Structure 1
Amino acid sequence: MKVSGFTFLRNGTLLGYPYIESLRSLLLVCDEVFVAVGQSDDDTLARVRGIADPRIHVIETVWNEAMRDRGYVYAQQKMIAQFNCSGDWAFYLEGDEVIHEDDAPKIRAALERHVDDLEVEALVFDYHHFYGCPDLVAKSPAWYRRAPRVIRNSIRSWAPDGLFWVVMEENKRGRYPRAALAGCPIYHYGHVRSAEKMQEKIRQVSRYWNHQPKAHDYSQIDASILQPFTGTHPQGVQAWLAEYAEPAFKADPAYRPSKRERRHRWMMKLERLLGGLDLTKKHYTLVSRP
């Protein structure tokens, strides 16, 4: 079995991504890793090359600055990297996502277990969405609880955006992939980077969604969705957290939840009443457990 990894990056340092830590964690699982690096205003390309692992293959790209429709430029960059993968599986990890070293053997074992089961087209991971600081995670229907991050590399798939895949069974029709659970989480650190880096990230990426950039303030959140994180962070990201994560966070007690957030509160109550029902949107069809 051969496992390919892939991702895309641009201005990773300038925007405060733990992308080196992310790539090193991906190397714990993959036999090759393709990184589409867009023209940047910082040292992203040099730092990726500086990992100096022969399994990493850099693809220098130019982003389509005219593409401002719902983040589709991310899909374009994602697919540039994916189309270079040659393994049985293609493992996509975003620049603010990290694999725990304890989970790497479990992931490899799950892929080995399903490699000959053609009904399983993808592997779905649970998520720890850290928010505001490394000690809190966000849990509500606004934050996807699970997402596919590995796709079988022998099927026709494409990405409408950076988050998920569509499998094309016919030329004019697509569906979400059939998936098994990985049985372990992805550690998502995009919302613990410093407030300054987060503001710069919002300023730069808003144009690709045809949005006007807004002022960012971590404190403006419904605190009822935040829960203490009781696990351990991956060893490879701990130095980054100590140096680059937002050092202090406190939710604004005067914050008034939006209509959407109030609706999510009711959804979470319903989930608890119905014994753990998951009402979040799913970009996959579950066909197998771990």
Structure 2
Amino acid sequence: MKIALVVGVNYYSSGGHLYGCVNDAYKVKTMLERNFDGSINFDCKLLTASSNADAIERGNLKDAIEKLFTTKAEIALFYFAGHGHIEPTGGYLLASDAKRGDEGVALNEILVLANSSPATNKIIILDSCHSGIAGNPPTIKDNALIAEGITILTASTANQYASEKDGSGVFTSLLVDALSGSAANILGDITPGSIYAHIDQSLGAWEQRPIFKTNVRNFVSLREASPSISLEDLRKIKDFFPVAGFEFKLDPTFEPESKGRDEGMPEPIEEHTEIFSILQKYNRLNLLKPIDAPHMWNAAMESKSCKLTALGEHYRKLAENNRI
């Protein structure tokens, strides 16, 4: 079971309102609750505050966070978009009724709940100002204190503000883009690490900097996007390339098109063209490259070879060790 608490707070009774947090929460919920094929992913609980009518009180926010992290699950994920506050005693997430910064839910309290959670994996994603302090109790300053199974991804460092642009948080826009498939590997898996890499590469050195902290043995998939290649075809990589550095010999019988053949060239062989189709998929995914030829077509028609790239060798080893 995967569960997620998704919170977006625009309305603040005693402070400046925000404008994109509620929409951001809806977007994140939409991404998390189903995979690309419509299959169920996270069971999401959504809390949003757009006005006084649906304001979120601190007690209700804390109770929801406590419920999330006391539930036994494969993954317990907490997403928050709203105001954040920092002072010498630590950081806070502010609910609608906060009159001052330290009246929010303390990040240290959230960390205590996550550290003791029975969930196998705990994911905390914060799009709020100063959120980078999460996981760093003030008593230990720059050292993070997170239990095994916890991952924290924040919009900015402890000293930075989290920006909004075009009605959405800059960080969350990139997060949603990553979850939609931009951060997927060729199998379609989207992990916290790949999400961070996507966001990190998208923000310049002079912009807000995302923070990533983790203590895990294995990355988990937060969502499945459309795979670039079928598992069946990818597993065949170890059969076509049985050892590292192996060169697969091609000839004109692998190319299905008759166009461009010189007189006397052998005709296509169906078994070979089926293999060549898979090899071309590898080539498009940068798993394979032709040797001494500009394209796979040339390699086949000129009876040359192809070999795996470094990325291809990585997946060959995974297939060889039954990891895919």
TM over 0.5: same fold? Answer: no
Point out the structure with the larger helix share.
2
Greater RCO, CA 8 A, separation 6+: 1
Richer in strand (by share)? 1
Structure possessing the higher radius of gyration over alpha carbons: 2
Give the TM-score taking structure 2 as reference length: 0.27
